[in-house]
Amino acid sequence: MKALVCLALFLTGCSGPSRGENAAMEEQFTVMRDTMIANQIAARGILDPKVLEAMHAVPRHKFVPEEYSREAYEDYPLPIGEGQTISQPYIVAFMTEILRPRPGQKVLEIGTGSGYQAAILAEMGAEVVTIEILPSLAERAQARLTELGYGRVRVMTGDGYRGYPAEAPYDAIIVTAAPERIPEPLIEQLKVGGRMVVPIGRYTQELKLLRKTADGTTVEDVLPVRFVPMVGEVEK
């Protein structure tokens, strides 16, 4: 279809958006992104400057299908294909803030989706390994991340229930699909002193913050949420 459109434009002597038009569109997206940060994120208590800087730096409209690009900075999730969604911007910022990623830390993400959350973590200086169970989403996310300069993010295709032990232990783990219980392999792969943010539940979900200490783990309920369910081995 794209080839036919290009041929039609060539035959009619027309062209796609000019460089100036593209620049103007990107300026509009920057304004929309600034408004999102001010009204949806900072105004609701997300104050970590590193999180706010990362949310400003990452172009969320590049992580959604083109037909949704104008909605990319609105206060709700959007479909990205395969029955999956990109999370509401506030939730991305909130989970990132309580995870507390720091430059040089190794972070495992379960549920790559569009790659947006991984880009936010990478923008904050984390070394990111992310797992996506759906091959088509994993392939698109890796291509998108590489195109946007986040090629150091490693996207793995597989079942995130078992994490990625080859790179363990991790300073932090973030889960963006909801299991009914915290997967034990993920706890095992978390460093002592590490933090895990994970939504738990099927119909009623609660975002939980797990901290791992030398004496065990503590789990804190932090926010009611709604995520797509985790699938794969966790369902057995």
Which residues are known to be catalytic? 87
**Of 16, 20, 21, 17, residue with least CA distance to 5:** 16
Instruction: List Cβ neighbours of 229 (8 Å cut-off, separation of 6 or more).
Output: 177, 178, 179, 202
Q: Any idea what DSSP says for residue 14?
A: -
Q: Are 121 and 55 in contact (CB under 8 A)?
A: no
| CA count, 13 A, side-chain hemisphere, 108 | 27
Place of tokens 């991984």: 118
> What is the H or E stretch that residue 116 is in?
helix 116-123
